[in-house]
Structure 1
Amino acid sequence: MKKFLQISLGVVTSVGGFLEMGSMSTSAQAGAGFGYRLGWALVLGTVCIAFLAEMAGRFAAVSGHTIADGMRDRFGFKLFLWPLLATLLVNLLVLAAEIGGVCIALEFATSIGYRWWALPVAALAWLLLWKGSFGLIEKGVSLLGLVTCCFIVAALLARPDWHAVAAGLVPRQAPHDSASYWFIAVSILGACITPSLFLFYSSGAIEDKWDRRMLGANRAISAIGMGFGGTIALAVLIVAGAVLMPQGVRQVEDYHQLPLLLVPTLGMAGFVLLVLSLAIASFGATLEIALQQAYMLAQAFGWRWSEDAKPRENAGFSMTYTVSLLLAALPIVFGIDPLKVTTFSMALTAVSLPFSVFPFLVLMNDTSYVGKHANGVIANLCVILIVSLSFVLAVVTLPLEILGGS
């Protein structure tokens, strides 16, 4: 029963961390612009992050190290500095996007401009991190994130062409505007295969004191949790394709268009659920990314770190998430459109993937860390595919931003 509860709570955590401002906005843009044709990108991204999450949990449970610990130890600090800087900078931009997502939800709820909410949202996140425990962050906020299941209900009520939905799971040539099509595909993959998620996952495993007895549960958590999160993201795409396209909305360029996703099928309740989904999912992601910033820097420099310890016992750790939240809130305070920040940050995430994924592959094949639990042939092939895809994305993302991202 105890192991079942661990699996259940871990699945809830995975779902809560998967769907946030990035995946919600990119899925909506894909559905509005190209119907169901980009469903394959979501499926590929979900499979990739499920593999990476399972490996992250297995690495932590067997080696007793986080991924950042292993990278620093295996490659030395000078080489580790590159993935460290890339991850910290991209995470900061993604953190700004998530704070912006909460602010947009609050603007919908109160009619007070989103920029006025940025500092209060950052302050509330800081207070929860300062006073809360890892269990509160991991399970409390994520349980509330189950409200995002409303998109599954909306997708069923929208009565899409399920044959077209199934056809969209197979990559096909863009029907029009190829640059925009591939840019959105890149953004979806960046939103799904985010390094902060599997890096946070390994740190969380150490916080929860995982060992080899958790290997089976880890497989269930990563597969079911990420799979369910991917299903919700796919539901957003289906709703956008079934609801927005028939209304002639081919581009989601303004965050004021987001309520159109749920209102046509769920009425006023849809507006409330959209506000709750956006606020809770983005706030949960804000907490996780701010914590990951602190985990990454503390592990890089060998500081003491734990969300369960008192802040004065982890001064550097606590200072990192404090400064990260403040810096990430500033672009929103100055009025930068959160939706544009989100789109750019997802593409930039794709560019940064090789810096974190390739060293992780090396660690997962180093028997001095994982022993007999090193990657098998299938896992290696999958990660090699991810790394290769990452390099391709890194090459094409910036031109696509210029040609199709605007």
Structure 2
Amino acid sequence: MKRVLQIALGVVTSVGGFLETGNIATASQAGAAYGFSLLWAFLVGTICTIFLVEMSGRFAIASHYTIMDGIRHRFGSNIFLLTLAVAALVNLMVLTAEIGGISLALQFLTGMSFQWWALPATFAVWLLLWRGTFGLIENGVSLLGLLAVCFIVALFFMDTPWSQIATHFVPRSSINDPLHYGFIATSILGAVISPYLFFFYSSGAIEEEWDKSYFGPNRAIATLGMSFGAIISAAILILAAMIYPPSGIENVEGYEQIAMMLTPAFGKWGFYLFAGSLGITCFGAALEVSLAQAYIVAQGFGWNWSENAKPQHNPAFSLVYTGSLLIALIPILAGIDPLQITIFSMAITALSLPFGAVPFLVLMNDPIYVGEHGNGWVANAAVVFIIALAFILSIITLPLQILGG
């Protein structure tokens, strides 16, 4: 019964790690521009995420290493520093997007500009990291993310074309603007396959001292939790496809448009449900990204690290998440549009995926680290294919999108 409760808690709190500003923004953009036709990107990205999250937990249980520990130990300082630099840069961009999401949610609720909320929001994230424990962050804050289930509920209050939706989980070739289509698909894959999630998950397994009895729960949490989060993200895309094109909106230009997504189903309360969902999920994601940043730096350089320890016992670890939050805060204070930051950072995330995934796959096939718990050919093939797809799409579409404005 204890294991069942742990799995159930792990599944529902996975929403806080999976669903955040990247998924909300990219799903809304995709639905407005291309209807249901990009649902396949969420399906493909979720399959890859399930494999990678399960592998992250399995690696930690079998080897007693975190991912970054393993990369440094197996490949040496050069590969480690390259992986760390890429992951840290991407984490900073994602953290900026999450702070922007929290600030925008507060703007919707109060009417004050998001720039005024950026500093208080960042301070709240830092204070909880400074004073809180891993369990509080993982279970307490993330559990609040269940408010986002309102996106699924909204589908049942509207005339949802279920049979039509079911036909859009396969890519289509008849697209008017393949460049933009590819860019949005890339952003979706980057939002779903977030590297910080794997670093955070493997570190959490070590923090919570998972032993070999957790192989089964780990598999269940990865599969059910990521699927649960993906269903909510897909619901956002479906709502956007049902609401925006009939209103003549084919390009979502700001979160102000996205904020009205739930009003057709819930009336004026839909606006507040959206603001609450955005703020809570972004707050949970900001905590996890900040911790993931501190984890990878501290683990890579051999410093003391643990969210459960007091800051004076691991000062370098605490300094990393403090500095990261301060750096990520700057673009939001400068007034840069959080939606543009989010979409761009998700595309950059897709471009960065091979830098962390390739050495991780090597580790997962090395019996010195995982013994008999290594990967099978199905897991290896699926991850390689999806990571290669995301990388190729980003190589093709990202430079042209930047040059085209």
Say which SS state the counterpart of residue 261 (structure 1) adopts: coil
The aligned counterpart of 1:208 is 208
Root-mean-square deviation (Å): 1.1
In 2: Cα distance, 1:310 partner to 1:191 partner: 32
Partner of 2:378: 378
Per the alignment, residue 47 of structure 2 pairs with 47
Displacement, 1:295? 0.2
Q: Which amino acid aligns with 1:150?
A: C
Instruction: Between 13-22 and 136-145, report the one with greater CA deviation.
Output: 13-22
The answer on whether the counterparts of 1:347 and 1:397 sit within 8 Å (CA) in structure 2 is: no
**Distance in structure 2 (CA, Å) of the matches to 1:403 and 1:173:** 24
Matched, 1:185 2:181: no
Trace 1:226-375 onto structure 2 (pairs within 5 A). Answer: 226-375=226-375
* Contact 2:363-2:369 within 8 A present in 1 as well: yes
Residue 239 of structure 1: CA displacement? 0.3
The one-character-per-residue Cα deviations of 1:179-233 (angstroms, maximum 9, x if unpaired) are 1111100000000011001111101111110111100000100000000100000
Output the TM-score relative to the length of structure 2: 0.98
2:85 is aligned to 85
CA contact (8 A) 1:48 1:386 kept: yes
Give the whole-Å Cα distance in 2 for the aligned partners of 1:231 and 1:288.
Answer: 21
Aligned residues: percent identity?
56
1:53–1:198 Cα contact (<8 Å) kept: yes
Bigger mean CA deviation after superposition, 38-47 or 395-404? 395-404
| Residue pairs, 1:114-153, within 5 angstroms | 114-153=114-153
**TM-superposition CA deviations, 1:50-74 (whole Å, max 9, x none):** 1100000000011101000000000
Whole-Å separation in 1 of the counterparts to 2:402 and 2:45: 23
- Name the residue aligned to 2:11: 11
Closer, same or farther: CA 174–292 of 1 in aligned 2, 3 Å:
farther
Q: 1:391, 1:398 → 2: CA distance?
A: 10
Which consecutive unaligned segments of at least 5 residues does structure 2 have?
none
1:174 is displaced (CA, Å) by 4.3
SS at the partner of 2:252? Answer: coil
Is residue 44–residue 386 contact of structure 2 (8 Å, CA) maintained in 1? no
Question: How far 1:158 moved relative to its partner?
Answer: 2.4
Which aligned pairs between 1:160-199 and structure 2 lie closer than 5 A?
160-199=160-199
Q: Are the equivalent residues in 1 in contact too, given 2:183–2:394 (CA < 8 A)?
A: no
Tell me which stretches of 4 or more aligned residues in structure 1 moved more than 4 Å: none
- Partner in structure 1 of residue 155 of structure 2: 155
TM-score by length of 1: 0.98
Checking the alignment, whether the CA contact within 8 Å between 1:158 and 1:239 is kept in structure 2 is no
1:394 Cα offset (Å): 4.2
Query: 1-side partners of 2:185 and 2:336: how far apart?
Result: 24
CA distance in 1, matches of 2:160, 2:8: 31
Match for 1:32: what amino acid?
A
- Secondary structure at the aligned position of 1:306 is classed as coil
1:92–1:324 contact (8 Å) kept in structure 2: yes
Residue 103 of structure 1: aligned partner: 103
Cα distance in 2 for partners of 1:403, 1:42 equals 27
* Residue-by-residue CA offset, 1:273-311 (whole Å, 9 max, x unaligned): 001000000000000000011001000100000000000
Q: Is the 8 A contact 1:101 1:278 kept in 2?
A: yes
Partner SS state of residue 308, structure 2: coil
CA distance, structure 2, for counterparts of residue 338 and residue 101 of structure 1: 7
CA contact (8 A) 2:186 2:390 kept: no
- Residue 112 of structure 1 aligns to a residue in which SS? coil
Structure 1 position 246, deviation (Å): 0.9
- Contact kept? 2:62, 2:370, Cα under 8 Å: yes
Shift of the alpha carbon at 1:391?
A: 3.3
**Conservation of the 8 A alpha-carbon contact between 1:100 and 1:114:** yes
Alpha-carbon distance in structure 1 between the residues aligned to 2:37 and 2:138: 34
53-62 vs 7-16, greater mean Cα deviation: 7-16
In 1, distance between residues paired with 2:403 and 2:252?
17
Give the residue type in structure 1 aligned to 2:252: V
> CA-to-partner distance for each residue in 1:225-274, whole Å, 9 max, x for gaps?
00010000000000000111111111111111112210111111111100
Unaligned runs of 5+ in 1: none
1:398 matched to 2:395? no
Contact 1:358 1:387 in 2 (8 A): no
